[in-house]
Chains A and B, each alone.
Chain A
Amino acid sequence: MANTSTNATSTVDNGVNVAALISAREALAQAPQAAQFKWRAACEWKNGTHSHSTVEGYYGLGQEQRHRRTFTFDADHPEVFASEDNGATPVEYVLVGLASCLTAGIAAVAQHRNIQLRSVTATIEGDMDIQGILGVDSDVRNGFGGIKVTYKIDADAKREDIEALVAQSQKRSAVYDIVTNPTNVTVVVN
């Protein structure tokens, strides 16, 4: 039998279950301990600058959780660095993380604001002076000097509303926060 249920108030569908997100927000406001998550990845050196990482389990909602399957990521450096280019560079993974986080946020905010998206594409570029990582000049930082993300968005909305989507997505993005603010990092050897 066909599912005949319809949403009377909205025909916008960006594939985001906003009702579930909002009820989760209300539930977690009552039970803040369930909001404590730990995200994890494991990384194993292969050869040279090549490493193989996996993402499988994480902790949240008070218990261990698992992705539907194990995701794997090869990281390496390109041949201009005399490497074998077995995967994207780690800094490119950072760009992927930022762009995908902002894009997910745009879809969620658009759904919440009743804006139908037709297409969303982003290009992201990070400037880097590699004199930093090569130790040529100690005044040059290792990381990006700056990052630029450029969106093309086709949606049933005015330009200001699309700009507001993109602004709100930055405001609520975990990776944007991670990239734009300092984070304490502890690295230990067991």
Chain B
Amino acid sequence: MSRCLSERAIDHVVLERGEVAHSWRTERWDSLRLLTPNWQSRLPGFFYRGDDPDGYRTLPEVIDFITDYAKSIAAPVRTHTNVTSVRGNEDGYLVRTDQGGWRCRILVLASGACNIARVPAFASRMPAAITQVTAQQYRNPAALADGGVLVVGASASGTQIAHEVHRSGRPVFMSVGEHIRAPRLYRGRDLEWWMDAAGVLDERYDQVEDISRARRVPSLQLAGTPDRSTLDLNALTAIGVKLVGRLAGITDDGKAQFAGSLRNMCAMSDLKMNRLLDLIDEWARTNGLGDNVAPAERLSPTRVEDAPPLGLDLKAGAIKTIIWATGFRPDYSWLEVPVLDRKGMLIHDGGVAAAPGLYLMGTPFLRRRKSTLIDGAGDDARELSAHLAAYLDGARKRLSA
């Protein structure tokens, strides 16, 4: 957005509570790799020029990438400037920070969708001997106690953490709720390549049937595996991770209770994956790619044992740590503008918030399916900066009239 505003000669600052790429520096686990390939991180005027376009950036590489971009566009970033409150005033917004205040006509919220780890309320009933860690706090297996680990959540974070924790010699139980399985490579190409080429990632928010549902759909169970292997529940089962149902509660005597819905969770995930692959096959056929790529295939269904355990005694000593990979929510506690719905989510139309001159970036399906990808920021910023510039012109005309 800063780059698009500079192109339009719109005077602006970027407030950053820490260093550029703060959340990547402070809220990610050590081994994390970006789940999109190098070539796919395209930003306005900036793209990958290295010799490994199909690789996945390591965490330090992601930090460098974002930092280099900020430098290359000379973004007017004020680092170590923490926003403490935002209020509307007569001609815009009053932004208070720990480094003084700002008045602005226009405010773009780019603070992200993943500020606070969601943890179910019954986590407070966890036996005291169990250490609780969120995916945001988790760093590496060595930082965990020896002994068993219950990973709750089977999307991209949960599966990757379960994989490395189990391989560290700590037996892992994985509690599986809704998730969407996805092969890393399909017909010899990265799944992201297919979704990009077939236009899936460009699908717009005003073209989908039910946008509020589309914004709630879990993200794909993808991992930036160096060997480009698929990290799905079958891969976890193969190394000895034990799958259990969604964590439904913890009893007063410290027993975890798992839902009996594991089979349907896996069936739904397989069906959703296969629908995506059907769409890709159809696109490949109509675009004449059939002979240039490997033949269509389907992964074997997710394996679920006949009678997965419905409970686990958390006081018996086998489980030492529970890792919550149960998703995130944004933090708008500093936003004193009445634009939140009853669930605390910001009301907006494709990033144009329900308050004049207020914009949003980087949340699920903001304007396109790719809106939460680095690769999605460019298109969203181009369109929102156009809307923003028109609003600013209108405001200037109103003032001079």
Interface residues of A (CB under 8 A from B): 32, 145-146, 160, 163-164, 167-168, 170-171, 176, 179-182
Q: Interface on chain B toward A: helix, strand, loop, or mixed SS?
A: mixed
Interface size class of B (residues with CB under 8 A): 10 to 19
Query: Looking at the complex, which one of A145, A146, A164, A180 makes contact with B245 (CB distance below 8 Å)?
Result: A180
B257 and A182: CB pair below 8 A?
Answer: yes
A167 and B264: CB pair below 8 A?
Answer: yes
A32 and B260: CB pair below 8 A?
Answer: no
B260 and A180: CB pair below 8 A?
Answer: yes
A146 and B307: CB pair below 8 A?
Answer: yes
- Residues of A near B261 (CB, < 8 A) are 170, 176, 180-181
Some 30 contacts from A to B, beta carbons below 8 A apart, are A32-B342, A145-B307, A146-B306, A160-B274, A160-B275, A160-B278, A164-B268, A164-B271, A164-B275, A167-B264, A167-B267, A167-B268, A167-B271, A168-B268, A170-B261, A170-B264, A171-B264, A171-B268, A176-B261, A180-B245, A180-B259, A181-B248, A181-B249, A181-B257, A181-B259, A181-B260, A182-B248, A182-B249, A182-B251, A182-B257
Query: Looking at the complex, which one of B260, B268, B278 makes contact with A179 (CB distance below 8 Å)?
Result: B260
- A182 to B271 Cα, complex, angstroms: 27
- Residues of B near A167 (CB, < 8 A) are 264, 267-268, 271
- A163 to B354 Cα, complex, angstroms: 40
In the complex, which residue of chain A has the Cβ closest to the Cβ of B306? A146
- A41 to B244 Cα, complex, angstroms: 34
The minimal Cβ–Cβ distance linking B131 to chain A, given in whole angstroms, is: 24
B335-370 residues at the A interface, CB under 8 angstroms: 342
The minimal Cβ–Cβ distance linking A36 to chain B, given in whole angstroms, is: 15
Add 19 more A-B contacts to A160-B278, A179-B260, A180-B261 (CB < 8 A).
A146-B306, A146-B307, A160-B271, A160-B274, A163-B267, A163-B271, A164-B268, A164-B275, A167-B264, A167-B267, A167-B268, A170-B261, A171-B264, A171-B268, A180-B245, A181-B260, A182-B248, A182-B249, A182-B257
| B 296-336 to A, binary, CB cutoff 8 A, 1 in contact else 0 | 00000000001100000000000000000000000000000
The minimal Cβ–Cβ distance linking A165 to chain B, given in whole angstroms, is: 10
Q: Interface on chain A toward B: helix, strand, loop, or mixed SS?
A: helix
- A163 to B274 Cα, complex, angstroms: 12
- Residues of A near B278 (CB, < 8 A) are 160
- Residues of B near A168 (CB, < 8 A) are 268
| B 236-275 to A, binary, CB cutoff 8 A, 1 in contact else 0 | 0000000001001101000001011100100110010011
- A167 to B275 Cα, complex, angstroms: 14
The minimal Cβ–Cβ distance linking A49 to chain B, given in whole angstroms, is: 27
- A170 to B245 Cα, complex, angstroms: 14
- A111 to B245 Cα, complex, angstroms: 29
In the complex, which residue of chain B has the Cβ closest to the Cβ of A181? B248
- A182 to B256 Cα, complex, angstroms: 11
- Residues of A near B260 (CB, < 8 A) are 179-181
In the complex, which residue of chain B has the Cβ closest to the Cβ of A170? B264
The minimal Cβ–Cβ distance linking B365 to chain A, given in whole angstroms, is: 18
- Residues of A near B274 (CB, < 8 A) are 160
- Residues of B near A32 (CB, < 8 A) are 342
- Residues of B near A146 (CB, < 8 A) are 306-307
In the complex, which residue of chain A has the Cβ closest to the Cβ of B263? A170
- A164 to B273 Cα, complex, angstroms: 12
- Residues of A near B249 (CB, < 8 A) are 181-182
- A127 to B260 Cα, complex, angstroms: 14
- A167 to B274 Cα, complex, angstroms: 14
* CB-based closest 3 A-B pairs: A180-B260, A181-B248, A170-B264
Chain A CB within 10 Å, residue with most, of B259, B274, B306: B259
- Residues of B near A163 (CB, < 8 A) are 267, 271
In the complex, which residue of chain B has the Cβ closest to the Cβ of A167? B268
In the complex, which residue of chain B has the Cβ closest to the Cβ of A127? B307
- Residues of A near B259 (CB, < 8 A) are 180-181
The minimal Cβ–Cβ distance linking A154 to chain B, given in whole angstroms, is: 20
The minimal Cβ–Cβ distance linking A89 to chain B, given in whole angstroms, is: 21
- Residues of A near B342 (CB, < 8 A) are 32
| B 272-301 to A, binary, CB cutoff 8 A, 1 in contact else 0 | 001100100000000000000000000000
| B 206-245 to A, binary, CB cutoff 8 A, 1 in contact else 0 | 0000000000000000000000000000000000000001
- Residues of B near A160 (CB, < 8 A) are 271, 274-275, 278
- Residues of B near A179 (CB, < 8 A) are 260
The minimal Cβ–Cβ distance linking B302 to chain A, given in whole angstroms, is: 12
- A170 to B265 Cα, complex, angstroms: 9
The minimal Cβ–Cβ distance linking A65 to chain B, given in whole angstroms, is: 25
